[in-house]
Amino acid sequence: MAVVTLGNGKTGTSHAATDRAARVGACLVRARNGQTAALGEIVRELNPLLWHVARGEGLGAEESADVVQTIWLELVRRLDEIRSPQALTSWLVTAVRREAWRVQGLSRRQAPDGAEQLESVPDPDPGPGERLLTDERDQILWRHVQLLPERCRKLLRIVAHVPRPDYAAVAEALGMPVGSIGPTRGRCLARLREMLRADPGWSP
């Protein structure tokens, strides 16, 4: 797909963003009125993101699933705190990270104390499953991703799963810079792009 200019990209994005915000906003209103079942659609949409946030913090599969569920339960109790559809995703991401740190702290008997934790938790190894990557571009991409610093792998793992309209809010919650006209590429993605560009086998 050809690179489009920023102007075109922005038009499409804000349209999609408005649609999504309206849809998510309607679900939140119904949930606040006691119809928690209205959250089902949002759960399905955001669960992969939240799962990878927990996994990225080094939790095991069962622990991650549990942390994700705990945070949804917590959300149901705090729906009044969610001011906007965009705020929902960043609230969930932040809450899952905190809960993952808490669970990590329990299992390590030491409490994490903030963003430094990003550097100190080992990236969970997805295992010997790379044979599962049959597409050559997937293999090339994964090879380069593994060469990135751990902090970047963890960040991109999250960013890759963020719904586009929520990108800026989540980036801000993660301490990533956001430009005046919207989310920027950031150092980690810029680095990955450079690596991919230098690989003759790569095409996006």
Partner 1 sequence: MTSSADQPLDDDDLAVLRRLAEVYALLDPPPADLDERVWFAITLGELDAEVARLSEELTVGSGARGSERTRTITFDGDSRAVMITIAERADGLVRIDGWLAPAAALRVELRLPEPAQPRIVTADTAGRFALDGVPHGIAQLLVHPAADDASPRVVTPAFTL
N-terminal to C-terminal alpha carbon distance within the chain: 8
Which of residues 4 and 22 has its CB atom nearest to partner 1 in the complex?
4
DSSP 124: P
CB of 65 to partner 1, least distance (A): 5
Which of residues 19 and 136 has its CB atom nearest to partner 1 in the complex?
136
Which of residues 25 and 124 has its CB atom nearest to partner 1 in the complex?
124
CB of 196 to partner 1, least distance (A): 7
CB of 112 to partner 1, least distance (A): 16
CB of 79 to partner 1, least distance (A): 8
Structure token digits, residue 8:
């075109």
Q: Calculate the alpha carbon distances from 130 to 40, 48, 142 in Å.
A: 32, 19, 9
The residue type found at 126 is: P
Which of residues 12 and 19 has its CB atom nearest to partner 1 in the complex?
12
CB of 71 to partner 1, least distance (A): 9
CB of 67 to partner 1, least distance (A): 8
Residue among 57, 79, 77, 81 nearest 67 (CA) = 57
Which of residues 115 and 177 has its CB atom nearest to partner 1 in the complex?
177
Q: Which residues form the interface with partner 1 (CB under 8 A)?
A: 1-4, 6, 9, 34, 36-37, 39-40, 43-44, 47-48, 51-52, 55, 61-66, 68-70, 72-74, 76-77, 106, 124, 126-127, 129-130, 132-133, 137-138, 141-142, 145, 156-157, 159-161, 164, 167, 177, 179, 181-187, 189-190, 192-194, 196-197, 204
Which of residues 1 and 113 has its CB atom nearest to partner 1 in the complex?
1
CA–CA gap between residue 4 and residue 8 (Å, rounded): 6
Structure token digits, residue 69:
């569920």
